[in-house]
Structures are given as C-alpha cells and as structure tokens.
Amino acid sequence: MSADNFDKLMTIANPLMHDFVADAVELCQPDSVMVCTDAKEDIEAIRQMALNGGGETKLAAEGHTFHFDGYNDQARDPKRTKYLVTPEMKLGKNLSQIDKKEGVEDVRSILAGSMKGKQMLVAFFCLGPINSKFSISCVQVTDSPYVVHSESILYRPGYEQFKRIGDSDGFFKFIHTEGETENQVSINTDKRRIYMDLEDNQVYSTNTQYAGNTVGLKKLALRLGIQKASNEGWLAEHMFVMGAHGPNKRVSYFAGAFPSACGKTSTSMISGQTIVGDDIAYLRKEGGEIRVANVEQGIFGIIRDVNPTEDPEIYKSLTTPGEVIFGNVLITDEGRPMWLGMGEDLSQAKGTNHGGEWTYGKKDEDGNEITASHKNARYTVGISSLDNRDPLADAPEGVPLSGIFYGGRDSDTCVPVEQAFNWTEGIILKGASIESETTAAVLGAEGVRKFDLMSNLAFISVPLGKYIQSNIDFADGLDNVPSIFSVNYFLKNKEGQYLNTPLDKKVWLLWAELRVNGDVDAIETPTGYIPLYKDLAALFKDNLGHDYTQGEYVEQFTIRIPELLAKIDRVEKIYKETVASAPAIMYETFDTQRKRLEDTKAKHGEYISPFDLIKK
C-alpha cells in the first residue's frame, strides 16, 4: 500500500475497520492496494480499470458499458449461499446455514492467496441516506473494478460517512474475489461461496462475478440488515418506495413487496408517479409515524420486457447517453445492447452475448434455442437519471409511509386490490400469506403456488416467527398506522385470459391513495375492503381513457369463497409444518377469516358479486 493510500485508510479512525482490511490483505496477498474515497477522481479511476480488463467493455453510446458473467454464473446461488452460525444461534431449519468454524475455514482456504498478481480495492459506501438515522456504513474489499463501479452507481458514497461513526463496530464488511478468470469471467464456479457471518456482520464471496452474489451491499447486506433491524426495533424489507400523486398536488408514499416477476419494479415506475427506490427499504418509527427510506441510489434491474410502452422512464434512461452497465444482453456488431421484450424484432440482429457469437435461431448442443439475451439479463443505472425521481429520494429523514402493497401472481383467488381491516390482519393475511404461481415457460410446471413470506423469504436471517412478530408489533405506539393492501395483477377468467391490462395497476394505486386519505368509501368483504364501482369507473376514465363497465367490475371483484378458503388452508399448513415459532395470533387470525368466509358463504353463496355486499 502506497503512503497516499495508507493515509486515506488511516484518516478513518476506526481500528476495527483497519483490522478487517489488514486481515484481508494478509489473507488474499494482493500485489497492491488502492483505497477509494468519495472523490470523483477515485471513482473515475475505477471506471477506467473496469474498462481496462476489469470486467466491462465500452458500447457505442457515451457512458454505456457491458459486462458478461460466466455461463454458469448468471444468478444467485442458493445452494452455496449460507449463514455462518454458532451452536447458540437458532435460525430454524428453513434457513440455509453452516457451522461458523467450518464455514470460515472453508471460505478462507479458498480466499488464501486469491489476489496474487492483482490489485485489491478498498471502497466505502453507505446504505440508506447519508448522515441520517437510516445510515449504515460499509467497507467493500474486492479485486473486481466492475463490482466497485457497480456499487458506485447503486449506493451512496460512504468514505466521509465512515468518518462520522468513529470507532463504532456498527458497520458491515464485505470481502469478494472473482477468483481465477478466463476472458474476464470466473471459471471455478464449483468453488463459488457466498457466506454471511451474522455474528460479525461480514460477508464472504468468491469465484463469482454475478452482481447478486458479488455486490455485497444488495441482497447480502439485506440479510445483515434484517438481523440488525430485528435486534434494534426497526424493519429492513424487500420493498420499493414510491410517491402516489393524488388531488391538489398531494403526494402519499407507499412501499411494496412483490416476488420476482409479479410487477414490483413496474409498480414503482407507474406513469405520472415518482420513484424513491425499487428494491430495498428501511422502515423506522419517528414522531408517531413510520418513515421509510430507500437503501440504494440506483437500480440493478431485470432488463427483460423493459420497453418504451410499459416502462418509458427506464427505457429512456437505458437508451440515452449516460452511466449504464448492461449485463448479459446481446451486443450487436454496432455496439448496441439488445434484449428480450424490448419492443424490437431480434430476428435480424446478430452480435455477441454471454455464450459467444450469436445469430437468430442459434441452438446449444442439446438442440435448445439460445436466446439473444439471458432471461436474467440486467441493467445498472442511477435513479438520478430517471425523469420520475422523487424530490425526497435522498431525504435524510426518509418519507412518511401511508400504505404498503403486497402482491403475488394469482390467477384465480384474490381481487385486483383490497385493503386489510387493520395492520395485524394486513401483515398476516396479506404479507405473511403471499403466494406466487410459477409459469411454464420459465420455472417449470405452470400454476404451482410458491409461498414467499413478505416476498422476503430468501433473505430472512432471524427465526421466521420472530420476523413475523416484529412486523406485527411495529405498529405499536403509532399515531398514524399505514394501511395495508393486497394487489393482484394476474387474475384470469375461465378461458385463461387476463382480466386486466398491465396499465390497470395505475388505477389500483390511485384508488389506494384516495383511500388512505379518506376520500372514498369502500365495500366490506370477508377479507377486507374493496373499491366501489363508481370510484373505479372515474379513475379508469380519467387516467386511462377507458370506459370501465359494471361487467368488468363484477368479474374482477367477485368474492371467490372456495378459493379463498383453500388459500388459508394451504398457508396455515405451511406454517404448522415448517415454522415452529409462528406467533399464536397467526392461527387465531386464520380462524377469524375462515369463519367470516363461511358465514358469508352461508348467506350469499360461494361466488359473490361485490354489489351484493353493499350495505343497504
């Protein structure tokens, strides 16, 4: 380490951080070490390293680059992603884990000497807005300029923030090596490891370049954050945050949790609204209300189906000169990125993708079609490049939370939008009961319902019962309790046709905005409150130019008693069989809703028009 880099490191008066970096140097044995500050020249140096054999290549548009991951390194690796636990830690059998001593020895044996002949990068970032109660300082050690460049787009600068925490131990640590590479791609994926030490707030990642495994501050840090939040009385959630714009320039802020491919990012980007963040949120109680902040300042998004019709703001940012990293898309011979669902004909395109040279119709050795871009192809872009960025996106105090959406992929059970009766029922019956149906094209057998608690199941790092109880208790002491809604964009008729278009979600959002502000009444059903027809008709007409009919309304908002009862039975069975620590109030709430459904069925039948539930 040069004297200049040494001085940069020692300017941060935190011996624990110094120990972490020193141990990483001794373990990985790099030829040199660069310490990155918040200075523009340091970030620019990283960009240039990335383009000079560090994982990225220039594209035709100014500021655009692309990155390819290895053929077997295209997504998160649940099998090799584990918590390091001590004998005293009781996470429950649901969470993938390994004995800490065994796991540390395993991953450190792989990391040993892994940076010989390379330069180690030490970078600092901040989770949450800078200099606020949401801030969590982070130090990233890696040999990949691509990783640091990605994090400089996705996260707020953290060098100066790190100085503010003094000698505190309340920071997160990440060490990553790409391992041996060939054509800038990690090749020893059998030695891929992603281990999280919950005791020391440290993440190890090696022999991988896919950002979900290497950009430690994303889902790996979410796992550390969930445990920290649980211990300190706040929430770390897999949620977007956005502003819904109501009458008279009013803005009401919503968070939302959706499993993959269920409309999460598209909801946060609804036209005419403003985005705070699309993926991860921290929630804290302040002054009798919940304040929520976006953990990130950028988006690492799935690019498939991003097109000018359904995602105009993102599409514009991806096709305008500026800082964007494309991952695993098709790069044409002219240096242009192309991807599935972008709204253009790919049959005439040719170029290079993560599998090599590509032309339309190319097949692999088993005769399967090789698509132009990977189905999990990604983009990395700053939210500041979006025209619809909310003015309070970086507010240190966060934004006041008016409501929460929980969504899943559901073809036959839940109505398009419904408000829970109260916070507890919302957490249990909307959030803790999320199901998402698989699709035949991508995930296997069509219609298999996958349970996904709060859309956070893969990232929860505390016993599931404790996590649910923390969410239930979070409303205690609040003067203003946010409303909780379920949404379902995937309801179908008996012929298998969707009952709504992708644009209809704007109406459900704006109805919820009116509802949380007391502007509209609602119909009480056995499972919550649904909109009145007249209010939806006005919203459809004013916002989508659509004459919404009573027939559409009845078909979409029919209460389907048999399917709702079956859902309660499925979810309750999962909890009884797999979550020994589930709070007793969950089963009481299931019983309460089951009784309401049975009583309503006795009075009105199994399938009930919303008009039949209007109180005379």
| pLDDT tens digits, 443-477 | 345 567 889 999 999 899 999 999 999 999 999 99
Tell me which of 394 and 355 has the higher pLDDT. 394
Give the amino acid at 454.
M
Please check the confidence at residue 527 and state whether its pLDDT lies above 90: yes
Rounded mean pLDDT, 22-40: 97
Nearest-angstrom CA–CA distance, 532 and 417: 11
Which tokens sit at 231? 């211990």
* Coil vs helix vs strand at 68: coil
Q: pLDDT grade, residue 180 (50/70/90)?
A: confident
Separation in Å, CA 294 to CA 27, 110, 236, 267, 402: 34, 34, 10, 15, 15
Least confident of 75-79, 123-127, 233-237, 555-559: 75-79
- List, by residue number, the catalytic residues: 262
Percent of the chain residues topping a pLDDT of 70: 97
Backbone angles phi, psi at 556, to 5 degrees: -80, -35
Please check the confidence at residue 411 and state whether its pLDDT lies above 60: yes
Which tokens sit at 329? 């898309």
Which tokens sit at 580? 């020994």
Sign of CA dihedral 313, 319, 321, 325: positive
What does the pLDDT read at residue 446? 53
Domain 236-297+393-613 in this protein, CATH class = alpha beta
Please check the confidence at residue 574 and state whether its pLDDT lies above 90: yes
Q: Which CATH superfamily is domain 300-384 in?
A: Phosphoenolpyruvate Carboxykinase, domain 2 (2.170.8.10)
Q: pLDDT grade, residue 113 (50/70/90)?
A: very high
According to CATH, the topology of domain 3-55+76-232 is Phosphoenolpyruvate Carboxykinase; domain 1 (3.40.449)
Q: Which residues sit opposite 523 in a β-bridge? A: 530
CB contact at 8 A, 488 and 498: no
Residue the block writes with tokens 């892994």: 114
Torsion of CA 574, 576, 582, 587, to 10 degrees: 100
Residue 61's contacts (CB-CB under 8 Å, 6 or more residues apart) are 319, 320, 321, 336
Nearest-angstrom CA–CA distance, 437 and 448: 5
Q: pLDDT grade, residue 95 (50/70/90)?
A: confident
Domain boundaries, the chain: 3-55+76-232, 236-297+393-613, 300-384
Rounded mean pLDDT, 180-196: 81
- Around Cβ 562, how many Cβ atoms within 10 Å? 13
What is the Cα gyration radius of the chain?
Answer: 25
What does the pLDDT read at residue 73? 64
Residue 311's contacts (CB-CB under 8 Å, 6 or more residues apart) are 265, 266, 269, 305
Separation in Å, CA 358 to CA 302, 329, 333, 585, 602: 21, 11, 10, 56, 61
Task: Name the helix (H) or strand (E) containing 529.
Answer: strand 528-531
Nearest-angstrom CA–CA distance, 159 and 412: 50
pLDDT digits (tens, 9 = 90+) for 371-396: 999 888 999 999 999 999 999 999 99
Give the mean pLDDT of the chain.
93
Residue the block writes with tokens 């000698």: 167
Torsion of CA 212, 213, 215, 221, to 10 degrees: 90
